[in-house]
Amino acid sequence: MTHYLGIAICLFIVGGALFQIGPHLYMDINSLLFVLGGGVGYALITGGKGRHVTQFGTGAVYFGWLGTLVGLIAMAAGAFDNWGDLDRMGPALAVAMLTLFYGYMVKLISLAFADRS
C-alpha cells in the first residue's frame, strides 16, 4: 500500500509542475504512441512470467531515449525546415524531448503495478 502512496506523491509533484507551466506543452500523441508502442514491444520481447509490467516500464524508458534521438536527428538534418530559426527550433526540441518525459512517467506509473513478490 505504501508504494501506491509513493507513486501518488510523485505524480502529484510532477503534475503540479506540469500545470504550473502549462499542460498543453506536454501533449503530443505521436510521442506518446512511440513510447507506449515501444514499451509493449519491449515487454513482449523480454518479459517473463509476471514481469510484463516491469519490462513495459523499462521499454518505455528505452523508447523515450530513442524517440528523443530520432527527433534530434530529424531536427538537425533539417527534416522540419527549422534549422537556424530559433523561433521554430524551440518547439521542435520540446517535442523531441517529450518522448523522454513520457518514458520516465510510464516507468514511474509501472512501478505501482509491478509484482511486489
Joined together, the cell numbers standing for residue 25 give 506543452
pLDDT digits (tens, 9 = 90+) for 46-82: 976 778 899 999 999 999 999 999 988 888 887 767 7
Hunting for cell 513478490 — which residue is that?
117
Joined together, the cell numbers standing for residue 91 give 518547439
DSSP single-letter state for residue 26:
G
Q: Which of 101, 27, 26, 24 shows the shortest CA–CA distance to 68?
A: 101
Domain extent at residue 103: 2-113
Residue 49 buriedness (CB in 10 A; 0-12 / 13-18 / 19+): exposed
pTM of the model: 0.86
Question: Which among 62-66, 83-87, 91-95, 113-117 has the top mean pLDDT?
Answer: 62-66
Q: Are 58 and 107 in contact (CB under 8 A)?
A: yes
Higher pLDDT, 82 or 43: 43
**Count of domains forming the chain:** 1
Which pLDDT does position 117 carry in this prediction? 44
